[in-house]
Amino acid sequence: MVADALVVAYGIQPAEITKIAAGTATLNFHVTDDEGDQWFAKVYRDRTVLQHELAAVELAEFARAGGVPVPGVRRTRAGKLIDDAGPMSLWEYVADAETAEGGLTGDRWQAVGAVLGRLHRRLADHPAAAPKMRPASGLKDADRTRARFDWLITEYSRRETLSSFEAWALDAAKQRRGLLHKVDAILARLPKLTEQIVHGDLASPNLLLRGDTVAAVIDFMPPTPRYVSWEIARIGCDPRTILLGDQWITGLPDLLAAYQDEHPAAHPDDLTSTIAIGCAYTLASTYPLAEPLTDPTAVTPSLKSYAEARHQTALTLLSHLDLLHDELG
C-alpha cells in the first residue's frame, strides 16, 4: 500500500521501505527512494480524522515558514498535503537524530529554549486566534477534575482484584485527589497568562535532537489556543528530565532565558509561572492512571514506567513550590 501510494500519488520510486516501531495514530515508515533521498511516511489509521490531521500538517508548515526547524512535507502530484487514498503524508526524513526522551541536559536547555521561543513568536501570528490574557484558573475545570478523580477511584475500588499497576494507580489517584486543593491555590495566586496557538503536544518524543542542537519539532496538533506556560512546562518539566536529578533547577532558567532572547515580546509572567503551571496541570491530570479503565490495550511496560515518572514529577514540582510558597500548605 505504501509503495503504491508513493508511486501513484507522489511520483516516487521506493528502493527501500522500513516500518518504524513508533506511533499510535499512525503507521510510520522510513523510505529511501531510487535517487537516495530519504522520506518519513505517515499512514493514518483513522480516515474520519483526516481534517484534523490536515490542520495539524498546515500548522507545521506555518511554523516551518517562520524559521522553526520543522521537516518539510511533500505535496502529492495533485498538490495535496495528505494523500487521500493512503491516507498518508510524506515528510523529509530527519537523519542522525534522537528524541528528547533521554532528558534535557547541558547546552540542550538553551537550544530548546531558543527554538521554543521562535516557535511561539511565529505562532502568535497564526490567523486562527490572536494571543490573549486569561486567568490561570482556566487551565483546569476544578469540578470536572474532582469528578474525574472520584470516578477513577470508585471504578478501581469496586473491582474485586487489581493488577499491581492498577493497585499503584489507585493509590496514586487517592494521593493526587487529596492534593487538588493545592492545585486550586497554585492557580489562584498566579497572574493572568497568555493563551495563543501553540504546538499542542510538545513533549520529549516530539522533539528531535542532534547532539546539543534541535534537529526538528514534529507531530503538531491542530491550531488550538493554549497557555504558553503550559507548553513551556510540557518540555521544560518533562518527567524524563525532572527525574534525572536536581540539574533541572538550574537548567530551566537557562531555557527560559534563551526563550526570552528569541521572543523578546513574551510576557515575563508566562515564563515565571512555568513551574507552577506544570505542577498544577500534572497533579490534576488522570493520565495515564486511568488507562487500564479507558484503554487497556495502551497499558504497556513503557506506559507504566511513564505513569510512575509523571506521578513522581508532580510531587517533585510541588515540593519545590512548597519551599517557595508556604501559603500553599
DSSP letters, 43-109, are EES-GGGHHHHHHHHHHHHHHHHTT---PPEEPPTTS-SSBTTTTEEEEE---S-EEGGG---TTHH
Residues 222 and 254 in one domain: yes
Residues 188 and 153 in one domain: yes
Residues 253 and 323 in one domain: yes
- Note whether 195 and 131 are within 8 A (CB): yes
Residues 223 and 295 in one domain: yes
Residues 212 and 151 in one domain: yes
Q: Quote the Cα angle for 184-205-317, to 5°.
A: 30
Distance CA 7, CA 59 (A): 26
Distance CA 103, CA 12 (A): 36
| pLDDT number for residue 329 | 36
Decide if pLDDT at 325 tops 50: no
Among the three residues 65, 93, 121, which one is the final residue of a domain in this structure?
Answer: 93
Residues 121 and 86 in one domain: no
| pLDDT number for residue 327 | 35
Residues 278 and 310 in one domain: yes
- Give per-residue pLDDT as tens, 166-204: 999 999 999 999 999 999 999 999 999 999 999 999 999
Q: Which domain holds residue 47?
A: 2-93
CATH number reported for the structural domain that contains residue 175 in this entry? 3.90.1200.10
- Give per-residue pLDDT as tens, 57-107: 999 999 999 999 999 999 999 999 999 988 999 999 999 999 999 999 999
Residues 232 and 115 in one domain: yes
Decide if pLDDT at 160 tops 90: yes
Decide if pLDDT at 133 tops 80: yes
Residues 75 and 31 in one domain: yes
**Cis preceding linkage at 87, omega within 30:** yes
- Give per-residue pLDDT as tens, 258-317: 999 999 999 999 999 999 999 999 999 999 999 999 999 999 999 999 999 999 999 999
Among 147-151, 197-201, 256-260, 322-326, which stretch is predicted with the lowest mean pLDDT? 322-326
| pLDDT number for residue 21 | 81
Decide if pLDDT at 328 tops 50: no
Residues 56 and 151 in one domain: no
| pLDDT number for residue 321 | 86
Distance CA 106, CA 266 (A): 24
CATH number reported for the structural domain that contains residue 41 in this entry? 3.30.200.20
Cell of 212: 546539543
Residues 181 and 109 in one domain: yes
- Closest by alpha carbon to 313, among 282, 286, 287, 291? 282
Q: Calculate the average pLDDT of the chain.
A: 95
Count of structural domains within the chain: 2
